[in-house]
Structure 1
Amino acid sequence: MVRSRVRVSTVSLLVAAGLMTTAGTGAPGAEAEKSAPQSSVVYHEWSSDADFAAGVSEGVQPSGTGALAFAAPAGTASYTDPYGGGTKTWDYARWTSPEVSVGFGATQLVASWTADTPHGSWLQVEMRGHTGAGADTKWYVMGRWAADDPGEGGDIHRTSVPGQGDADGDVDIDTFVAQGSLTSYRLRVTLYRLPGTEARPALRSVGAMASLVPDRKTVPVSPLGGAEGIELNVPAYSQEIHKGQYPEYNGGGEAWCSPTSTSMVVSYWNTGPSQQDMAWVDPSYADPQVDYAARNTYDHNYGGTGNWPFNPAYAGRFGLNGFITRLRSVTELEQFIKAGIPVVTSQSFKASELPGAGYGTNGHLFVVVGFTQSGDPIVNDPASPSDAEVRRVYPRADFENVWQRSSSSGGVAYIMYPPGHALPPGVPGTDPNW
């Protein structure tokens, strides 16, 4: 049974997976996987005046708060919105990152960002790589983002961009998949605003996760990481109670696991849409913040709400930091729980592969909120009939296997947290030894 339309990697894609093992765990396929080669994953982010100063600025300047804001047009560009917005001319300003060495031959890259895009503005994020064969790729569009959609006064339909494939690779919704490998990359962010206006879009953070790991059918369980007995007080929201709501945003129910999970984390940090923001939601609907998140993460090309970076970008509109990465084990995930940060994970599985779930899925998001004393993950699973039934406990070895293996997402995680809240050591972009 499909519980979500979240896109997951196919078996042929190389994805990150944890290789930490413990003898005698009884994990699925543990003996076969103990000798598997180490995976590689790295995340790099720009999110401060000093970070942005290392890049090339065209018409942007520091905002005074660590962000990079539109200051003056660097040029004009025409954009035709393929989803009904017509053709408009825009002023633009741009920032291009320095080249980042990956340190290995990456086969996938996912960009993330947080930004302010007031009415009359939007942004585009692009990536250009350097291949293992020694050539520079073209610029690939990783996303076109606006906080609001046209129905709320926004100016474009938020979207990924299809049809970009060439000999170097392609963008699968939100993930660049290399035909060979990438050894380095640059990111480019273009801020757009309507000519003659004072709209001041601002980039608060931008980064990318690059990964290379072997194809793995099973993954061994990792050792305990110190979060045993910790459970964060994350609100519980069911996606299923929204079934049939707002079909223009894919109709709730099994299609809304990603915005429902993101909403739980946003609410945990005591922020989110205001009552005025949600005034358009039918007042008879419970948890209207989920409807709001679905509308404001919806990808018009993909036709769903499961675009990975669109979800932390949505959290960013409420002042949170956020990015997409791959964690290599449940041990690493535990470090976030110890730091007070719930983690949204992406996985796929048959009903028999995750005891206690009671369903199978070709792609699903839920929130890891803690661990039992024995080390089993405590999960807020939105694929539950009601809010009261969202809390679940899943066996550690089975959860790790269905999350980390290459037929699933390979350990994809949404990390969303407030500025000033410390990330745990060992997190991509915060630990030089990562």
Structure 2
Amino acid sequence: MSRAQQPSRRHVLGAAVAVAVSAGAVSAVPAVAAPAVRHGGASGRPVEYHAWTSYTDWRQGTAHGVRAVAGSRPGIVIAAPAGRTDYTDPHTGTTATWEYATWTSPVHRLSVPATEVIASWNAHTPEGTWLQTELTGTYSDGTATPWYVMGRWASGDQDIRRTSVDDQSDGKSSVWTDTFAIDDASTGLRLVSYRLRLTLYRKPGTHTTPTVRRLGAMGSDIPDRFTVPASTPGLTRELAVPRYSQEIHKGQYPQYDNGGEAWCSPTSSQMIIEYWGARPTPEQLSWVDPSYTDPQVCHAARSTYDYQYEGCGNWPFNAAYAASYSGLQSVVTRLTSLTDLETLIAAGIPAITSQSFLKTELTGAGYGTSGHLMTVIGFTPEGDVIANDPASVNDDAVRRVYARREFENIWLRTKRYDANGKVRSGTGGVCYLYFPADPAPSQHRALAGVGVR
């Protein structure tokens, strides 16, 4: 999202919070746990990220038509398709026949019984292929969820329109674009375990295949709060991350969420992709008007656009776009403090954070937003946050310094007031992390320190 205050599923979650508060109840999403429920697993963190990435991991799943491949980046590919199916693209009306194969993960029991779960994946989808990610789980009352679609994705848009799926609910939980959420967490209901399922698709009669190299999910039970504890500054460092403004793209390609005014997420993604040395090829950029500055930002917007959400802010789609570049991997997770970000920055890993705030809540921003992504690249000697904020008038103005206490609160809180005094939801520390496929030892340690392996 951007500072344009466009409606989103985050507003839907915020409306649920407002309804619960007005009724004298606990907010719905993200929600306060019932008093008997303890936040945090064995580590004490209210967040757990788990992934399948190794050859052994892929061999442990249930395969129908896929096989595990070894190498420096193990994964799964179509071997002998399990069958054929027709798919009617809801955004084009086109029906096509596809061969498919499936891989289903073992059951993963959450160390943090969760109110929310966000899946993410790293994959290569050549032309003529795509994939679907689904989630099912078991509630703390012993009942099971249905299989929920968490995304239909391809790196390009020539075969299908990548899309989330609306109107998925069983009366206990729902999927809001990219986020599984317990409908009323004040009851104490939680998701205690889950499985993920991948379905790989390709055009019949071909030997082309998607390759999936990472599949994971972040489960969390973030305590509901308007303010968060302050962390103590512990690092002075600034990373040399490219600076790109979304604002210079106003009016460009309005079919992708009304143009650059709403491109904070892909613009932030592109900054970090290029920090790691990756970049679209001239061929990939050939569709962009050559008169446009920073055409790679236009490409990132097109490559992250969710045709159902009608925006470029789908969190897993941004992460998947980043990992479509050779040598990069990505996750969507939650962090718990600016100390976590300091751990990453110390190892040379920048991060993309999601936050909502009033103009008066973030000194120097000059705007308010119902949802905005920016890139944290370092910390000043005073501990303040150095961010590449794409909501800037031009590339030169992107680097900002924001007060530590203000930034930490607007990023980590789960409840806030909008300009009309209504209670809305906050993202509770959501973060995209993009990092090398073969991290250095210090980067491994830093990632493990924030729960990513």
Q: 1:115 to 1:143 in 2, by over 3 A?
A: same
SS of match in other structure, 1:197: coil
Q: Are positions 1:347 and 2:355 aligned together?
A: yes
Q: Which position in structure 2 is the counterpart of 1:263? A: 270
CA displacement 1:328-367 (0-9 Å, x = unmatched): 0000111110111110000000010001111100000000
Distance in 1 of aligned mates of 2:343 and 2:165: 35
Local SS of the residue matching 1:123: strand
Which whole-Å CA distance do the structure 2 matches of 1:397 and 1:7 have between them? Answer: 27
Q: Which residue of 2 aligns with 1:427?
A: 450
Which residue in the other structure is 2:178 paired with? 174
8 Å Cα contact 1:233-1:369 kept in structure 2: yes
Equivalent-residue separation in structure 1 for 2:5 and 2:330 (angstroms) = 22
Aligned counterparts, 1:76-155, within 5 A? 76-150=84-158, 155=159
Q: What residue ranges of structure 1 are gaps of 5+ in the alignment?
A: 18-35
Residue 120 of structure 2 aligns to a residue in which SS?
Answer: strand
Structure 1 CA distance for aligned equivalents of residues 50 and 31 of structure 2: 16
User: What residue is the counterpart of 2:222 in the other structure?
Assistant: 213
Which amino acid letter does the alignment assign opposite residue 158 of structure 1?
Answer: R
The one-letter code matched in structure 2 to 1:223 is T
Distance in 1, matches of 2:162 and 2:58, equals: 25
CA distance 1:57–1:402, change in 2 (3 Å): same
Report the CA distance between 1:16 and its aligned residue: 9.7
Please point out which of 51, 69, 73 is paired with 2:77.
69
Deviation at 1:76, TM superposition (A): 1.5
- CA 1:402–1:7 in structure 2 vs 1: closer, same or farther (change >3 Å)? farther
C-alpha deviation, 1:71, in angstroms: 1.0
Check conservation: 1:39, 1:214, Cα contact below 8 A: no
Of structures 1 and 2, the one with the larger relative CO (CA 8 A, separation 6+) is: 1
Within the candidate set 289, 309, 316, 1:309 is matched to 316
Partner amino acid for 2:358? K
C-alpha separation between the residues in 1 aligned to 2:45 and 2:53?
Answer: 27
Distance 2:288 2:223 in 1: 45
Partner in structure 2 of residue 364 of structure 1? 372
Partner of 1:291: 298
Does the 8 Å contact 1:16/1:404 carry over to 2?
A: no
Equivalent positions of 1:393-432 (< 5 A) are: 393-407=401-415, 408-421=426-439, 422-423=443-444, 424=446, 425-430=448-453
Tell me, yes or no, if the aligned pair for 1:126 and 1:140 is still in contact at 8 Å. yes
1:282 aligns with 2:305: no
Q: Structure 2: give runs of 5+ residues left out of the alignment.
A: 18-26, 33-38, 184-188, 416-425
Aligned to 2:167: 163
Summarize deviations over 1:355-401 as a string: whole Å, max 9, x none: 11111000000000010011111000000000000000000000000
Task: Give the distance between the partners of 2:245 and 2:100, measured in 1 at CA.
Answer: 40
Contact 1:90 1:194 in 2 (8 A): yes
Contact 1:85 1:157 in 2 (8 A): no
Structure 1 residues 184-204: Cα deviation after superposition (integer angstroms, max 9, x where no partner)? 000000000111111111111
Aligned residues: 406
TM-score by length of 1: 0.90
- Is the CA contact 1:146–1:158 (under 8 Å) kept in the aligned structure 2? yes
242-251 or 85-94, larger mean C-alpha shift: 85-94
How many Å apart are 1:290 and its aligned residue?
Answer: 0.4
